[in-house]
Structure 1
Amino acid sequence: MEIDRAAAATYAANFDPTGVHTHAGDITGYIDVPQVDVVIGGPPCQGFSALGKRDPADVRNQLWREFVRVVRESGARMFVFENVDRFAKTREFRLLREAASEDGELADFNTQVFRLNAADHGTPQKRIRTIVVGSRVGPVDEPRRTHAKTPSGDLDRWVSLREAFLQGSVVLEPIVREAWLPESVVEFQGHEVPGAFKLPDLHVTRNHDLLSEIRYAHIAPGQGRFDLPEELRYPCWRRHTRGAGDVLGRLQWDQPSVTIRTEFFRPEKGRFLHPQWQNGGEQVNRALTHAEAAVVQGFDDRHLWCGSKSEIARQIGNAVPPPLAKAIADVIASRLASD
């Protein structure tokens, strides 16, 4: 179930080649709900994100109710609900918990809430998410960490960008000249969609203007907009000296990335400048490529992508990192197997 046709085509390309199990449409119009063991969903997070307006009337905030409807109609034994970290502090979260309490719509489910960091599960990114697990077959264990900021015992150190970009199955070279995806389309449910693209196809940059590149050249790893010379700051930044320090920030080679968002290709939106600066080769004054952002999310070279550059960027930024998804799936599968 996916309202974004390009994202639905990407799902089908990877998991459902015939497309018969992929519904591209609005969940509010989804009535032929099949009987399943587990329902997994992540209603849009923009209405809850600290970066958004956090408008209580935002219609996207109400889609969790449709998720609850599908859980009930599917006869599922378990459900998994994913959202931004802030969701756990919202009115909608409280209502979701109430739905699983006595006399609620999900009264026969026992719910557990986990606050998980993708970096703790082998993703080269510090990304914290609220995971709500509902079960009618008994409690599940919290997904076990495999990595930590400071390694100890059987925990490895967080995966760095250097490891992810330069030591993975596909080496992502810092110098990129190509700005466009290859010309290719696939047919998906009667529509032509760009794709399907492999990871190396996504290693494309943007044509930044000269003044932007000059600004980027002044930002060292770990620095951001506050470190620009006064004459290079945007006029609005000269008047507002507070706010997000990550904006126009440069990543660091030996640390995980910050949270990848849907506009990672615009350094003015966050800490998305490539980590290579003055040491170790030619200085790189650009944002992350789509391929780099996908790797930061934990995708490997087996994954296929469909859509335009902006549509694929949205898919990457909205995704649950596969290493984190696997950690959650492992505890779900273990519980179902023991029932």
Structure 2
Amino acid sequence: MGKYQIAVLSGDYIGPEIMKAGLKVLQAVSKDKNFDYEIKELPFGGAAIDKTGDPLPQETLDKCKASDAILLAAIGGPKWDQSPKRPEEGLLAIRKSLGLFANIRPTNISSVMKPYSPIKITDPVDFVIVRELTSGIYFGQPKSQTKDEAIDTMRYNADEITRVTKIAFDMAMKRKHHVTLVDKANVLATSKLWRQIVGAIAKKYPKVTYDTSYVDAAAMKIISDPFQFDVVLTENLFGDILSDEAAQITGSLGTIPSMSKGQTGPALYEPIHGSAPDIAGKGIADPISMIKSVAMMLDNSFNRSDLAQEIYLAIDRSINKKVTTPDLGGTSSTQEVTEEIIKSIQESRNEYVTNDVR
């Protein structure tokens, strides 16, 4: 088998800093583990605007389509606020062009992360939000704005709902067999359609417990009782808001990865945070979200859960040793956190070899 092709979109401000960290960990964890890959670094976002005038150059899109997976750091920032094209346009365009209709964000609070959570953690927190990504109010037409009036249209069709619902239920079958649909069916026609379609699909998964929650109630439950969730399925706008709220209860947005996927083609992996212009170049950006995105890629695109678990365990050991960046109350640099995670991977392997010889 040839080398896996990984497209790398380093992006803007802290983007290149954390991407460098993620690739260093990928190199360390894959060493001597029968995982051969080739990196294709491509311009995207603000960096691409500076270089080509377009946030998503055609060459970048073509090479992403030909890749086995895509790693994206972070894009955008004040530099391009007055630009005719904004970096975020590239993000919407790549999602649409690659058919990345499902965004998956895990919320996992491990034992070492409990002290960092702003809520009281009594039981394990481990759920994922599956958000429909390419339809809804962000894409619906008509969309217009005048001096006195603005119009946004929330629109969904059956196929869009069906395909993301199947991803959520298939995921639940590999987890704790529970799906919660979050909507506003007491008000919105689109939510009523979601309930109709999701309810019918749920009957095809008898091993999965299926329930529903209004979005306002779900927002409260994520704070007061997050332990009840397994797979949360929701539409684009609600998912955008709830996934950031869920990330915050872990203690830092700088620790959360995400995956966007379609029915075919490569998946895209990225941290959920922005490009953080205020700390760019200071060497203090938290690399954990990017490193976890690498782990998520290894697990989901390449079926290397063994390598992914090595990364997750090394991250926990690093946090447990208080080798953290300022967002987690530490004083370590991006480089120091990265080096500690790599050191932990190497020490764990050496210990395994020593014990195996004995």
Which structure shows the bigger proportion of residues in helix conformation?
A: 2
TM-score by shorter chain over 0.5? no
TM-score normalised by the chain length of structure 1:
0.28
TM-score normalised by the chain length of structure 2:
0.27
